Each structure stands twice: as structure tokens, then as C-alpha cells.
Amino acid sequence: MAEEDTARHRARMQRKKAVIEERIARASLERGVFLLHTGSGKGKSSAAFGVLARALGHGMNAVVVQFVKSRSDTGEEAFFRRHPAVRWYVMGEGFTWETQDPARDAAAARAAWETARAALTDPGVALVILDELTYAFKYHWLDLEEALAVFRARPFHQHLIVTGRAAPAALVEAADTVTEMGLVKHAFQAGVKAMPGIEW
């Protein structure tokens, strides 16, 4: 790069640095955040588990409640269950097209919610992950308003992550950080099997 270009680059980057530093200085609140991962692309649950690893690395503890998944042979569960700071609950009955029984689905969701509520009212829990919770609202297994009230009343420094497709608008409204995981393409569409270590 020519010397003049380098000088121009430096000037541009100095301006960018000043803007970014001002924004960082303005962000001064310290409190628990509510992350919502929605959309139809891959990454909603895995991003939650990545944050879990990050939190554990800072010495935090966590409760994970899986609302739909019923399988207990996933890599994430095998990996995190042995960690002493994690309590991991698989409380789903499988996808609703597997059970074909709405009463059973609803009962499983209500039982999972009681476990979630116990964590959400416990100031000793630093991070709560409610994996695939959104389906419980979609199928009316749980009352959204009741859940939002529990989220709002949770301990001040407790972080919360909710995952699942098609998050209702009120949930998006209530969350602090919302990512829409958009499906651009998926290996499955090209005939690749769900690979262990990647999909489960």
C-alpha cells in the first residue's frame, strides 16, 4: 500500500475508533440481558450453547431447559451435563408431529415451565437457557403473558436466553438482544445427513 493510502487509512480508522469509543462509553448499564434467537436458520440453539460455554469460562453457573427435544444423546448434553455448574433438563416429548398428541405435548411443556420458573426466581442462577420455548407459545401450551411477567421479575443480574422459530412479537419486544437466524441454505437440502457433532 502506498504511503498516502496508509495515511488515509489511518485517518479513517482514527475517526471510526472515536465513534466506536463514544458508543462504548455511552453503554454503561450493567444488568442481566435477555437474548432471543429466532428465525428458521441453523444456529439458534448452538449460539445459546456457545454463550453457555462463555459464561462457564467466567465462572458463572447455568440452568438449561429443553422444551421440545426429547433425545438425550446429543453432543451438547453429553458435553455440558458433566460440568458441575450446569443443570440440564431435557423435558420435551419430541416434535408435535412425532407425539401426535396435543394434550401430552401441553403437559410436557407445563412441567418444563415449572422447572424454568424455579430457575428464573432463583438469584443463585446466573444464566437460564430455555431452548425451543417459542413452540410452547405457538401451540398454546403456555401462556405468553404469564411467561413475560416471570421474565420481567427475574433477578436483576440474571441472564436469559430463549430460542425457537417464529417468536411472537411480544417476546421480541421484551428481549434486549434479538437475532433472526435467517436460512440462506442448509446442507440437508443438498442431501447431506444430519451429522453428529454438527446438527446434534
Q: Which is nearer to a second copy, 103 or 153 (CB)?
A: 103
- Cα(160)–Cα(104) distance, integer angstroms: 27
| Shortest Å distance, C-beta 137 to a second copy | 16
| Shortest Å distance, C-beta 72 to a second copy | 12
Q: Which residues contact 56 (CB under 8 A, 6 or more apart)?
A: 62, 83, 85, 86
| Shortest Å distance, C-beta 167 to a second copy | 9
Q: Which is nearer to a second copy, 27 or 153 (CB)?
A: 27
Q: Which is nearer to a second copy, 60 or 148 (CB)?
A: 60
For the chain, give the number of residues.
Answer: 200
**Which triple of cell numbers denotes residue 91?**
423435558
| Shortest Å distance, C-beta 142 to a second copy | 15
DSSP state at residue 41: S
| Shortest Å distance, C-beta 150 to a second copy | 19
Q: Which is nearer to a second copy, 111 or 178 (CB)?
A: 178
Convert 92-160 into a string of H (helix), E (strand) and C (coil). CCCCHHHHCCHHHHHHHHHHHHHHHHHHHCCCCCCEEEEECCHHHHHCCCCCHHHHHHHHHCCCCCCEE
Q: Which is nearer to a second copy, 80 or 113 (CB)?
A: 80
First-last CA distance in the chain: 46
